Structure 1
Amino acid sequence: MNQDYYFTYGFGYDELNDDYKLVLVYSSKIKNVGYNEVKLYSLRTNSCKRIKGFVNGYVYSNSGVLLNNFIHWDARKHHDFDGCDSTIVYFDLAAERKGKIDLPRYENVDVHWDLMCSRDSLFGFCRCEYEGAVDIWIMKEYEVEESWTKFASVAYYVVPGIFDRPLFINEDGEVLLIEGQSLVLFNTRNNIYKDLQVHVPDVRGRVDMAMFNESLVSPDNFDDEDGSIY
């Protein structure tokens, strides 16, 4: 791996073409270059091809967020600029096209964004370091930027673990997150949280959670010779 690039990825099942696809994004670490390249791997064809990169050059997310057959990442135009110029870039697995969605704007404030999918909706977590809080936003109507709505604002001193990206948000406004090495459930409506008595191993790197249907076809079911599913 070239040390001059940030590396991130996204993985998902392309229902239209009945294929599993892996998207790799390489963003240059060189200041103000704003360059990235994208590679797409298809499990069905066992092939990899290069695709023209995103306009917003620096793709920061550790891994892409899959929703509506699109993979989403947080991206910035500038390498060392604050999050005021952050936006969402996405890749459509079926059409193999790129696009972007603007995030809510913060003026003259140092912010950092994280994304997640929960309840079939796209959420944005904005860490406002000078404000000492995390703003949680939900996009109520997909790809409609005007539908961004602030779901909650949580101070660091209330739930220190909120600084990291939460794992899940339910319909009652409860946020599942990791506090130290424990899973906790925080209620954004009354600022009460409880320890679920579930131990989380001390792993390096970010912990993610994914929802899945048991009917999903396993990658192991692909025939080695012709790529068909059996």
Structure 2
Amino acid sequence: MVVAFDLGSEEFREIASLPGHEWYRYEFQRLCYLNGRISCISSYTSVGRLVGELRVKEDYGVESSWTKLASIDINGLSGLNFRPLAFSEKSGKMLLQIGWKKLAVYDVETKSIKDVSINDERTCVTSCACVGGLVSPCS
């Protein structure tokens, strides 16, 4: 369940349920904010391979409005500690943060991964989503 807090009314409300009624088959699900929309990356095992699905919420008032954007071959990634940072539907490429030290571009078509990290022992990658609003919390 995804819950929103309305700063104007100071009330919580449910805006979405996680995608899929077969939630029990997923090994993990992680919410993220991608291209201005709430997104969910889910993984499950299929024919001995770990597969990920990236879905975005199209309409917050409609439960079935999760749209699948891409499938990801997670076996090519180092573990489950990754998250999508940006996705280009036009090129089919996704920027991923993998662990604390690595950035990579994943090509959905070729299922290939290109490391775009800065190779420095002191490098630590952090990321966050910034969302603007019309209501200032200080007013």
Q: Same fold (TM over 0.5)?
A: yes
**In the superposition, relative to structure 1, how do residues 119 and 110 fare at CA in structure 2: closer, same or farther (>3 Å)?**
closer
Preserved contact between residue 121 and residue 142 of structure 1 (Cα < 8 Å): no
What is the Cα-based RMSD across aligned positions, in Å?
Answer: 3.1
State the alpha-carbon separation in 2 of the partners of residues 119 and 202 from structure 1.
23
Q: Which residue is 2:70 aligned to?
A: 152
1:59-138 equivalences under 5 Å are 87-100=1-14, 101-104=16-19, 105-106=21-22, 108-128=24-44, 130-131=45-46, 132-138=50-56
Compare relative contact order (CA 8 Å, sep 6+) and give the higher one, 1 or 2.
2
Letter of the 1:99 counterpart: R
Q: Which residue is 2:110 aligned to?
A: 190
State the alpha-carbon separation in 1 of the partners of residues 23 and 40 from structure 2.
17
Could you say what secondary structure the match of 1:134 adopts?
strand
| CA-CA distance at 1:143 after TM superposition | 3.2
| CA-CA distance at 1:191 after TM superposition | 1.2
**In the superposition, relative to structure 1, how do residues 197 and 164 fare at CA in structure 2: closer, same or farther (>3 Å)?**
closer
**TM-score, normalised by the number of residues in structure 1:** 0.46
Q: Which residue is 1:208 aligned to?
A: 127
Quick check: which has more Rg, 1 or 2? 1
Could you say what secondary structure the match of 1:157 adopts?
helix
Note the residue ranges of structure 1 that are not aligned, 5 or more in a row. 1-86, 220-226
Letter of the 2:35 counterpart: R
How many residue pairs were aligned? 128
| CA-CA distance at 1:107 after TM superposition | 5.1
State the alpha-carbon separation in 2 of the partners of residues 194 and 152 from structure 1.
17
State the alpha-carbon separation in 1 of the partners of residues 25 and 97 from structure 2.
26
Note the residue ranges of structure 2 that are not aligned, 5 or more in a row. none
Preserved contact between residue 54 and residue 69 of structure 2 (Cα < 8 Å): yes
**TM-score, normalised by the number of residues in structure 2:** 0.71
Percent identity between the aligned chains? Answer: 27
